[in-house]
Amino acid sequence: MWIATSTRNDQKALIPHRNAPLTETGRLRLARCVVEGGWPLRRAAERFQVSPTTAQRWAGRYREMGEAGMREPVLAPAPQPTPDPDPHRAADHQGPCPAPVGTGPHRLPPRAQPRHLYRVLSRYRLARLAHLDRATGRAIRRYEHERPGDLVYVDIKMLGNIPDGGGHKTLGRQAGRKTRSGAGYSYLHNAVDDHSRLAYSEILTDEKKETAVGFWQRAHAFFAQAGINVERVLTDNGACYTSHAWRNFLAESGISHKRTRPYRPQTNGKVERFNRTLLDEWAYAQPYRTEAERRDAYPAWLHTYNHHRGHTALKGQPPASRVPNLTGQYT
């Protein structure tokens, strides 16, 4: 057994492995015993401490090439990267990157300035990490409908109630666990317009079909008062959204119902993002003492979201900037 090592001129040199049973001379002796001495392969293999397959291989090479066949084939030089005329791309050829896949320029090996790495990544049109789906590494397809009402996302977010006296955020993890039992859950029914990100939301007691239909009746009236004519509604495949009551009410209102693919919450991404925002900025924003205290703070937060909070997808403007008749003063 031989292993290859790199020399200074990048050629591959062959050195024998320290545990190799055969050297070049040993292979020649084995081959001569089999070919010229007529030894059986098994006997020769036992004599030279190798397998019969190895003995057969070297005997066959001796028959074909003689002593020259006892040498290991010379390995071709390892391919070298073509020098890049752009010195900023030098970081591409500095060897394997120890950082995991999906790492941004700031965490890549410090062999070039981050701005140089940005240029290399931009040159090859690689997407920013924020534009990729972390699970698959594929670019996220972002879209936006041209007019308010072209598509409205509807979803339900289940949220644990705060027990009287406060939960773990107020009392600490151990004490909060004792008060958690029997607090129950709230169900936030949310509707978000695709174009404007305008949101209508209610905190209700369950997610039954009758509750979902009643919520949409009020949400539909809210959008209509703002001058938005809803044409399509997108939901997940929850039981309340696959019911005949939901389907019939949308059909009577002339609204097309679309459902997401199973196990693909990304399709309902805008309302899922709204859910995360309300958790960060309202539900868990401060240590509430009671569930009633948290619910009392919700209308003010929702008003701020629609009228004053800047949205990155709207170039820092609130949803109200895309709904001129939100106050209903032009009806």
Q: Give the start-to-end residue ranges of the domains of the chain.
A: 2-70, 152-322
Report pLDDT for 59. Answer: 92
Q: Which of 232-236, 269-273, 323-327 shows the lowest per-residue confidence on average (mean pLDDT)?
A: 323-327
- Rounded alpha-carbon distances, angstroms, from residue 319 to 137, 148, 169, 266, 298: 30, 10, 31, 21, 17
Return the DSSP state at 317: B
Question: Has residue 331 got a pLDDT over 90?
Answer: no
User: Which amino acid is located at 60 in the chain?
Assistant: G
Q: Which two tokens stand for residue 7?
A: 């020399």
- Once rounded to an integer, what is the mean pLDDT over residues 184-189? 94
Q: Which of 4-8, 209-213, 296-300, 323-327 shows the lowest per-residue confidence on average (mean pLDDT)?
A: 4-8
Q: At a CB cut-off of 8 Å and minimum separation 6, what does 16 contact?
A: 1, 2, 23
Q: What is the pTM of this model?
A: 0.58
- Helix ranges restricted to H, the chain: 24-35, 41-47, 52-65, 114-123, 168-171, 173-180, 209-225, 244-252, 269-278, 291-307
Q: Which two tokens stand for residue 172?
A: 């600490």
Residue 273's nearest CA partner among 213, 162, 186, 199 is 199
- Rounded alpha-carbon distances, angstroms, from residue 8 to 34, 77, 93, 94, 328: 40, 12, 18, 17, 79
Give the rounded distance of the alpha carbon of 304 from its chain centre: 30
Rounded to whole angstroms, the Cα distance separating 73 from 2 reads 10
In what order do the strands lie in the sheet containing 256-259?
Answer: 199-204, 185-193, 152-160, 232-235, 256-259
Give 152-322's CATH code, choosing from 3.40.50.620, 3.40.109.10, 3.40.630.10, 3.30.420.10: 3.30.420.10
Query: How many CB atoms are closer than 10 A to CB 324?
Result: 12
DSSP-derived 3-state class of residue 258: strand
- The full 3-state SS of 12-30, as one line of letters, equals EEEEECCCCCCCHHHHHHH
Report pLDDT for 296. Answer: 96
Rounded to whole angstroms, the Cα distance separating 30 from 41 reads 9
% of the chain beyond a pLDDT of 70: 68
Give the rounded distance of the alpha carbon of 70 from its chain centre: 53
Q: At a CB cut-off of 8 Å and minimum separation 6, what does 287 contact?
A: 166, 169, 170
pLDDT digits (tens, 9 = 90+) for 38-91: 899 988 888 888 889 989 998 999 999 888 888 876 555 556 554 444 444 444
pLDDT digits (tens, 9 = 90+) for 132-163: 665 666 666 666 888 999 999 999 999 989 88
Report pLDDT for 168. Answer: 57
